[in-house]
Amino acid sequence: MPVAAFMSSANQPIKVDIWSDIACPWCYIGKRKFEAGSGLFAGAGEGRGVEIEYHSFELSPDTPVDFEGNEAAFLASHKGIPEAQAQQMIDRVTEIAASVGLAYDYDNLKHTNTVLAHEAIHFAKAHGKQLEMTERLLSAYFLEARHVGKVDELAALGAEIGLDPVALTAALESHEFLDAVRRDQQTAVEYGIQGVPFFVIDGKYGVSGAQEAQSFARVLEQVWSVRDTADEEVSA
């Protein structure tokens, strides 16, 4: 058997790097659609699998921790549009979120700066719970009106998924993982990522936006097929 056969990537999970922001409504919608799409892909068998890693992206880094005003007011100011138009955009995204089982609570949502939330996700990653923390923070922000810009709230949310709240508090107060957040952001710049969610598949293929589940499944299947063909050529 050729040595290359031992190094085959055909049965290795497809690595998917996702740039995302906790305050991005399309990121949560995209997460649900990607999960459905990767489920369709994995369900086709033959060892198909996906390994996910999240990366930090701040849509609005100048947002204060305690923003005064509702989401429509923020969006209108941020995009330079009338508040009525901003509310229409919110209503539309709320409908789309509902179609994937997410009940966005924009009436009570607490808009905030998300850099600490990203630091908390990196802390969780260091403790093997990045995926759980990402889901917990998105749910807390969009569905439960929790304040994800404050250390004590982030520590409490981390404790809910099994993280040490004392250690998480210390990490957030010292900004232990801020450099990791900045490295993610710099990589996004190098990739030319200007909006999220953004998916980098197998380190080669970029997919932008909250695509439909079937679209994600097709992309993963195409990457799997290309990878399989390349392995056959190498081992021949």
Is 225 a member of any domain? no
In angstroms, rounded to a whole number, what is the distance separating the alpha carbons of residues 84 and 86? 5
Position 78 pLDDT exceeds 90: no
Q: State what percent of residues in the chain have pLDDT above 90.
A: 87
Judge whether 197 and 33 are in contact, CB under 8 Å: no
Judge whether 118 and 141 are in contact, CB under 8 Å: no
Is 52 a member of any domain? yes
Judge whether 197 and 24 are in contact, CB under 8 Å: yes
Is 19 a member of any domain? yes
pLDDT digits (tens, 9 = 90+) for 14-71: 999 999 999 999 999 999 999 999 999 999 988 999 999 999 999 999 999 999 889 9
Q: Locate 124 and state its tokens.
A: 């969780």
Q: Locate 177 and state its tokens.
A: 């993982």
Confidence (pTM): 0.92
Q: 208 by DSSP, 3-state: which? A: strand
Write down the H helix ranges in 63-150.
Answer: 71-79, 83-99, 115-126, 130-142
Is 3 a member of any domain? no
Domain CATH number, residue 134: 3.40.30.10
User: Which domain range does residue 71 map to?
Assistant: 13-210
Considering the chain, what is the average pLDDT of its residues?
Answer: 92
Is 72 a member of any domain? yes
Q: How many domains does the chain have?
A: 1
Is 217 a member of any domain? no
Position 123 pLDDT exceeds 80: yes
Q: Locate 157 and state its tokens.
A: 């949310």
Model confidence band, residue 228 (pLDDT cutoffs 50, 70, 90): low
Is 229 a member of any domain? no
Is 69 a member of any domain? yes
